[in-house]
Structure 1
Amino acid sequence: MSKQEPPYVDSAYVDSTYVDGTELPGFHNLLGYRQASWEENEAVIELELEPKHLNLGGVIHGGVLTSLVDIAMAQAGTHCPFPGRMRKAITLSLTTTFTGQCSSGTIRVTGRKRAGGTRIFNSTGEVHDDKGNLLAIAEGTFRMRSGSDKPEGVPI
């Protein structure tokens, strides 16, 4: 199990803007997260909360939490150690349970692949604030996209 840490995370969303020098589409940029770590079966992303991430009540929006945990759980099953290549998956199902709130600081989102075959895998996720409080838990089922079922993935 090889662990890759930024700034070298070849097929990771290092600052959610670029993958291996290629600019990502809008939604990843809109969220503004950064990749804390990414290895086989586990991905960790972090987000410094800004006013745009809050709901009308002044706490983090549930859609932001759900989006981030979806990304981390998908990444947990799609790590690709080959430079210039990546693996992709689509979400088949996602369940999120909200357990807490926060309105400032940095949140940490961890996704872990729990089981799966070559095309379908299951992951769980957790979101914590910078004090260690649990904000959300999630589980999801994902399907590898064409070509991503192989460890070498597809060209970026």
Structure 2
Amino acid sequence: MSEQQGHITSAKDLTGFHNLLGYHHESWTEGETVIALEVRPEHLNLAGVIHGGVLTALMDIVMADSGTYCPYPGRRRKALTLTMTTTFTGQCSGGVIRATGRKRAGGKRIFNSTGEIHDQDGNLLAIAEGTFRIRSGSEGPEGVPI
């Protein structure tokens, strides 16, 4: 369960594409986020390993979240992706994977994050870096209503 109060924390709370992925937050603090995903058959590509699009989507989510922590219940901060680069370093076909995003630098509206995804044995599956922009209304720690 997330350390963040008032945020989406479990698969049943997710909407749209996030629900389709089916991840959940393990932790969400200022500057760092960890999400976990149990790999299901629909996450696999034709070769039977996790699809790169799934890994990239998880990276996008976790890196944006790392720069948008909101400590207020019932509220959320939002960001959009400006750039993102992903490097795939391994494969898996099942189990639980964990994505960790860390905010590295930033100003009032723009921030940079890095991310890593590991399988349940600790093997590195992907690394990424990205630049994100805080959406209007989300500049302050109070964010916007969910």
CA RMSD, Structure 1 to Structure 2 (Å)? 1.2
Letter in 2 for 1:137: I
Letter in 1 for 2:10: D
Equivalenced residues, count: 146
SS at 1:65 equivalent: helix
TM-score w.r.t. the length of structure 1 is 0.90
Deviations 1:103-126 (A, max 9, x none): 011000000000001100000000
Q: Percent identity?
A: 68
**Aligned counterpart in structure 2 of residue 153 of structure 1, from 136, 143, 146:** 143
In structure 2, C-alpha distance between the alignment counterparts of 1:155 and 1:82, rounded to whole Å: 9
**Aligned counterpart in structure 2 of residue 14 of structure 1, from 9, 18, 21:** 9
Does residue 71 in structure 1 map to residue 23 in structure 2?
A: no
Does residue 106 in structure 1 map to residue 106 in structure 2?
A: no
**Alpha carbons of 1:61 and 1:140: their partners in 2 closer, same or farther (altered >3 Å)?**
same
Q: CA deviation at 1:11?
A: 3.8
In structure 2, C-alpha distance between the alignment counterparts of 1:59 and 1:92, rounded to whole Å: 28
CA contact under 8 A between 2:89 and 2:125: conserved in structure 1? yes
In structure 2, C-alpha distance between the alignment counterparts of 1:12 and 1:130, rounded to whole Å: 25
In structure 1, C-alpha distance between the alignment counterparts of 2:115 and 2:2, rounded to whole Å: 23
Deviations 1:122-141 (A, max 9, x none): 00000000000000000000
In structure 1, C-alpha distance between the alignment counterparts of 2:2 and 2:130, rounded to whole Å: 28
Matches within 5 A, 1:38-117: 38-117=28-107
Any gaps of 5 or more consecutive residues in structure 1? 1-5, 19-23
Letter in 2 for 1:58: G
Which residue is 2:21 aligned to? Answer: 31
Q: CA deviation at 1:84?
A: 1.4
CA contact under 8 A between 1:17 and 1:28: conserved in structure 2? no
Which residue is 1:124 aligned to? Answer: 114
In structure 1, C-alpha distance between the alignment counterparts of 2:7 and 2:61, rounded to whole Å: 11
CA contact under 8 A between 2:67 and 2:113: conserved in structure 1? yes
In structure 2, C-alpha distance between the alignment counterparts of 1:7 and 1:98, rounded to whole Å: 27
In structure 2, C-alpha distance between the alignment counterparts of 1:129 and 1:80, rounded to whole Å: 28
